[in-house]
Every structure is written in C-alpha cells, then in structure tokens.
A and B are shown apart, each in its own frame.
Chain A
Amino acid sequence: MIQQILFFLVAAAGIGLFAWQVRKIRANILKGKDRAMGGPVSERINKTLLVALGQQKMFKRITPALLHMVVYVGFLVINVEVIEILIDGIFGTHRVLSFLGPVYDALMAVNEVLGALVIVAVAAFWWRRNRTQPVRRLTGVEMRAWPRLDANIILYIEVALMLALFTFNTADLKLHQQEGVELPGAFPISSLLVGLFPDSVTALHMLERIGWWIHITGILAFLNYLPSSKHFHIIMAFPNVYYSRLVPQGQFSNVDSITHEVKAMMDPSYQVPPAPVDADGQPVVQRFGAKDADDLSWLNLLNAYSCTECGRCTSVCPANLTGKLLSPRKIIMDTRDRIEEKYESPLIFQPNKYDPETERVKVDEEGSLVRGKVTPEELWACTTCNACVEACPVNINPLDSIIEMRRYLVLEESAAPNSLNVMFSNIENNGAPWAFSPSDRFNWADELYVAEK
C-alpha cells in the first residue's frame, strides 16, 4: 500500500512537473508573430502521417534511418508497457495486461527484442558521435559543450532504461521459475539472462522491485529532461510537421504591411487597414523583419523547439560545405537559446556553456538574436537554395528565419553589403540588377535570324 501511495505521488509529481514545463515552452512559442495558416487539414494530416509518424524524410540516408527506426519503434512499443506499469503501480496489480494472453506474449517478446536492438542502435549512435572523427554533420561550431553532452546524456538514459527493463523482467522470470509458477508473457532476452541472476528469492524480489522502480522513475525523469533537451523533438516533431508550409519551397512569405504601403503609393484612394492594437488599445509598433527571436513568427519558434540538432541541414548547405560561417542548424539553435534567455526557460538551461576555444562565431552585441547570436556574415552567406529545408526530417525551415533577419538588416538598418545596395539602386533606377540602360533591353532581338525549314 505504501508503495502504491509513493508511486502515485512520484508519477503525479513527474507528470505535473512536465506539464508545467510544457506550459512555459508553449508561452515561449506564442511570443512569436502571428502567421496566417492556409491549406486543407487533410493535406496537413497526410503530411504528418508520412513525415512525422512515417519518418519519410529520414530515409534519404539509410544507415541512420534504420538505427533511428529501431529506437523510434522501440519507444512506441515500450510505451504500451509504460501504461501497464502505471496501472500496476497505482493499483498494486502485477502485469495487469497479461489477460491479453497470446497478445501479451507477443507484446512482451517484441518489447524485449526491441529493447535489445535499442541498446545496439544506441551504441552505434554513441560511436558515430564520439569516435575520433565523428560523422561530419554531428560536428560544427554550434555543437558546443552542452549540445554534445545533451546528445550523450540521452543515449546513456536510454541504455539505463533498457537495462532496468531487463533487470525486472529477468528477476520476475526467475522468481516465478523458483516458485514453480508460470509468468505470463514471453521473454526471449530475459530468459537468456536468468542464469546470471542470484537464486535467493529475497534477492530476486529486491532486484525485480529495483529494476521496476528505476525503469519507471527513469522514464518520469527523462520526461522532465526532454524540455531542456534536443530530445524534445520526439513530441514537437508532430505539431511542427503538421503546421509546416504547404506552398512551394520557392515561395517566400509576403510582408502584408508593406503591401498596404505600396498599394497606397500607387493608388491614393487605397484604404490602408488600421494597424493592430495591443490590449490597451495602443497601436502595436512592428519592426520589419526580425531583430530578436520574438520578431520571428511562432512557426519559426516552433521550429526551434523541434530541432534535434542532427545537422542534416548544415551538412547539405552549400555555404557551410565550402567553409563559410553559415550553419542552418546554428540559426535554429540560436533562436531557441535566445527565446529562453529572454523569456521562460525549462529546468536545465545552459546554452551558453561552451568551450571558448572552439567558438568561431564572434558576436559583438548582447540582448538580441541578430548580432547577439547570429552575425550578418552568416546571414549573407545564404544562397536561399532550400537544401536545408529539403533535408530536415521534421520540416524545419531555417531559410524562413534567415530571410526575416535579412529583412531586418535591410529595411531597418540599411545594413546590406555595399554590393547589394548597388544592386538595389540598379533595380530602382534601371529596372535591372545590373547597371544597364533600360533603353538597351530589347537589343538582344537585333539581327536575329532563324533557319527556314
């Protein structure tokens, strides 16, 4: 009974704390500017099923895709067991789902096989990250002390959870063997391990309880680690894909406030709609583009919380590949760090923990996203080629954020590189980005002959 009460309190505290952290993150995301959402719901659901649930975009690279699939399916299936653990814990039952009979056998067997495969996959992940020359996309200036540690912590926790699972299954199995009772379920991995466990019934009881408690408290602790971690993507991937853009990737967002201005210039009778007002009825002064994280749209901020720092974007970025400072992943990570620095932060917040020696991007200001974290040099290196957008397995759009920040630099600070200012004035004066006379525009058609056939 005491165990049940204790369990109930621990579970309630764990879930409550998680809900409290999620509220903070939701508040952070809603600091972003409104952005009209279009498109049919059916298309969004379809895309969510394919890209988020079905991991469609992961399969551009087969090895990590299969390893990830193992951990992902393991996570989904083991969640069924977590339901059983929660019920057992609260009501003092033992393996409450065993009434499912053969289904339960299959469930437990699949669980165990997946659990073992998860350990193998996690070992492979660890090797890919921590060997002398890690996979290139897992390196980079933004992979500072905290992101690197975070990635490893996730792997260690996952192994610990699997080991706890095997501990209580094996102890339970051996306990039942000692007592001559059959344990419901099939345990292909644990049955191999029974020989390693002590014969004492007391010790087995202890091991079963310890394994069980470590497994469930570990899961609750991990749940509360998620909001501070890149691992939050296991939840955020779904809303992020659902809300991602349905329009062609080449279509950049329109700035409606500028449309009103331009229309009013061209047609004096055009009625500019009144500016939006805040809660006190004062007009909201919005700057053009994004200087700080909260100038971005809420979709950009949702992106920032969905990023698992896998670096597929950066690994295909033409600027990054050729040694420029730009890394799309860094833009996304900087956005998240900045919004948490300015507003709410989850339990563990240490994005600024880095190794100064590896830090290449020097910022010269504090207290904003542009220049405080993202330098103009990074922003101007982008070719807007959409490779990062295409590469992201959860449909994050770093390009959208980059363009918002370029808009701020150009429209608020007139801080474009000089050669671009020349290009702008060429368009204004000659109607072409180069300094050609508009009267020469049709010269290409002179002396044009075609073979008569």
Chain B
Amino acid sequence: MAEQVAKRQVSVPLMADFAARNEQPEVLFWVGCAGAFDDRYKRVTRAFVRILEHVGVKYAVLGMEETCTGDPAKRAGNEFLFQMQAMQNITTFDGYGIKTIVTACPHCFNTIKNEYPALGGNYEVIHHSTFLQQLINSGRVKVQGGESYKGRRITFHDSCYLGRANDIYEAPREVLAALDADLVEMKRSKANGLCCGAGGAQMWKEPEPGKKDINVERTEEALATLDGNAAALDALYGVESGNAGTTPAPKANAQGSIIAVGCPFCMTMMSDGVKNKERESSVQVFDLAELVASAEGLNA
C-alpha cells in the first residue's frame, strides 16, 4: 500500500541554516544520543520527523552540534562531567536563542527541563508524548489513513523519568486512546509503575547479582497483562500494590499485541525482555511516535 503513496525526501533542517537566514524555528527537536545512534531508536527519530514534516511545524535540529545532556553522568554521580556537558549545551542553545525544545527522550527532557535552570539554562521543554497529544487534540494529526490499530491490544509502559519524575501520565495514554485500540493497564502503572531497569546509568553496566533482571520482571508483567493471564500476574513477586484495577480479559498469545513506550532505554529493555521470553512473533514494542506516524500513513 505504502508504495503507491506519493513520497518526498526530507532534508532535515539544521539550526545553523535557520541562523544563517536569520530565522527562528518554532521548536528545536532535540534528538538525543539514543535517537541519533541507536539503530532501533533512529526509527523513532525518523517517525517523529515525518510527523513534524506532515503537520508543517517549523522545526530544526542541531545535527552534529548536539552532545550528551550529561544525564547518565549525573545519575552515576559524575557531577563534574554532567555540568561540563550541560554548560556546553546551554552555550549552544543560548547562542541560537532557543526557547522551545521537544525531545523523544524522557532523560534528556528531565535533565534539560529540571536541571539546566540551576546552571543558567531556562527553556520550555516538551516531551514528544505531550507534543503528539497536542497535535492530535488540535486536529493537526488525525491518526487516520494508515495502519489501523483498532481493537489491537496495547499496554503502555510508564518511563520513570516521564512519570514519577515529571508527573506525565495522561499524555501518552491520550495519544494511544486516539488509536482506538484495546488499551490495557499493567497493575504497576502510572505512579506505581515499575522501572524497566535501565535508569540511573544501569543502561551502561551489568546489573548487580540478583535473582532476575528487572526488564524480565517488567516484560513478564506486560505480557501477562496483554494475555490477560491472571495467574501469571499473581505469580509476579512484586505485584502487591492492589492498584489500578483488574486483569484484562484473557487473550491467549494474542497476535499483534503491542507494548508502547516513550523512552529509548525502555525500548531497549522491553524489546530485550520480549526476546528473552521468546514472544517476538506475537508482541512488538513500539514508541508512541512510531504508532502515530504509522496510523497517519506517513511511512514511505
């Protein structure tokens, strides 16, 4: 189907080009290291750019002028390295007079929004879940004309740095609700959500000795939720909060079920978890931007 649709090549606009023309974009899209280098998350970056192009937002990226926000260094205790990175980025932002930043990474989002102000960098920072929610609510994205998600079972995995860290729980859920899918909640969701295991610089190290990897625990919960498998949910060690309702109706080994994420590290951890449980054939992990771009029929 997609082959028949007219397509055009995107030349992603750089901040430097805007500056050369003495213009300002509406928003800077901060890609982040995972979005720029991680093969899986590059697809999310590209999906998000397709959405930006489709709605005609005047956006720009920093391209090779981007450098790590310093988040992993700060979480690991290397405050010196964090501040060096932060100051460098603040210099870049302020050099271009940037006011508004959108990013698909909750870690970049949290760091720039909450931790740069103490170092003199003050910007309006928007996570892409909120940005997509606004595009859908204002009717600029109709979530139609592409792949249909109607009736497909989706569960959203809350990222710590989006949820508990910044109290953003509804935006990603509203985006998913627009897909008209069969949304199901894990028992540990929203403020009680369980970490995927990657935060706090765990992404770059082996876990400490234990009984289980955190991403496996979380994936088991997601799979049991998608399957509506109450027995498997009860068997999980940590589910005792009694929060967020009941087990969804059983849907054994449901084909085409989706774990939705809004964070590159959660993407890696949940995908690895699904592989670990050998469920890749029935369950896929997608970012919100990928789901929206595909539902809108923007992939080419």
Q: CA–CA, A376 to B218, complex, Å?
A: 25
Is A254 touching B118 in the complex (CB atoms < 8 A)? yes
Nearest chain A residue, comparing its CB with the CB of B163? A386
Is A322 touching B212 in the complex (CB atoms < 8 A)? yes
Interface residues of B in 1-44 (CB under 8 A from A): 2, 5-12, 31, 33, 35-38, 42
Is A251 touching B115 in the complex (CB atoms < 8 A)? yes
What 1/0 flags go to A368-388 for Cβ under 8 Å of B?
000000000100111111110
Interface residues of A toward B: which range?
35 or more
Contacts of A445 in B (CB 8 A): 10-12, 46, 49, 61, 63
What 1/0 flags go to B186-211 for Cβ under 8 Å of A?
00000111110111111111111111
Contacts of B212 in A (CB 8 A): 322-323
Is B63 touching A442 in the complex (CB atoms < 8 A)? yes
Is B191 touching A390 in the complex (CB atoms < 8 A)? yes
Contacts of B33 in A (CB 8 A): 431-434, 436
- Stretch binding the partner chain, chosen from A67-75, A147-155, A273-281, A405-413: A405-413
Is A382 touching B79 in the complex (CB atoms < 8 A)? no
B94 to chain A, nearest CB (A): 13
B207 to chain A, nearest CB (A): 7
- B83 within 8 Å of A by Cβ? yes
Most chain B CB neighbours (cut-off 10 Å) among A324, A442, A451: A451
Is A249 touching B208 in the complex (CB atoms < 8 A)? no
Contacts of A357 in B (CB 8 A): none
Known pairs A322-B214, A383-B200; A431 contacts B68 (CB<8 A)? yes
B72 to chain A, nearest CB (A): 5
- A60 within 8 Å of B by Cβ? yes
Nearest chain B residue, comparing its CB with the CB of A410? B77
Is B243 touching A449 in the complex (CB atoms < 8 A)? no
What 1/0 flags go to A251-283 for Cβ under 8 Å of B?
110110011011101100000000000000000
- B230 within 8 Å of A by Cβ? no
Interface residues of B in 205-242 (CB under 8 A from A): 205-214, 217-218, 237-238, 240-242
Nearest chain B residue, comparing its CB with the CB of A322? B212
Is A250 touching B114 in the complex (CB atoms < 8 A)? yes
- B289 within 8 Å of A by Cβ? no
A-B contact pairs, 11 of them (CB 8 A): A322-B212, A390-B164, A390-B191, A403-B77, A410-B78, A427-B85, A441-B63, A445-B10, A445-B11, A445-B49, A450-B53
Give the 5 A-B CB pairs with smallest separation, nearest first.
A250-B165, A323-B211, A406-B77, A384-B200, A431-B67
Apart from A316-B238, A321-B217, A411-B77: 11 A-B pairs, beta carbons within 8 A: A60-B241, A247-B114, A322-B214, A381-B207, A419-B204, A441-B64, A445-B46, A451-B2, A451-B300, A452-B300, A453-B5
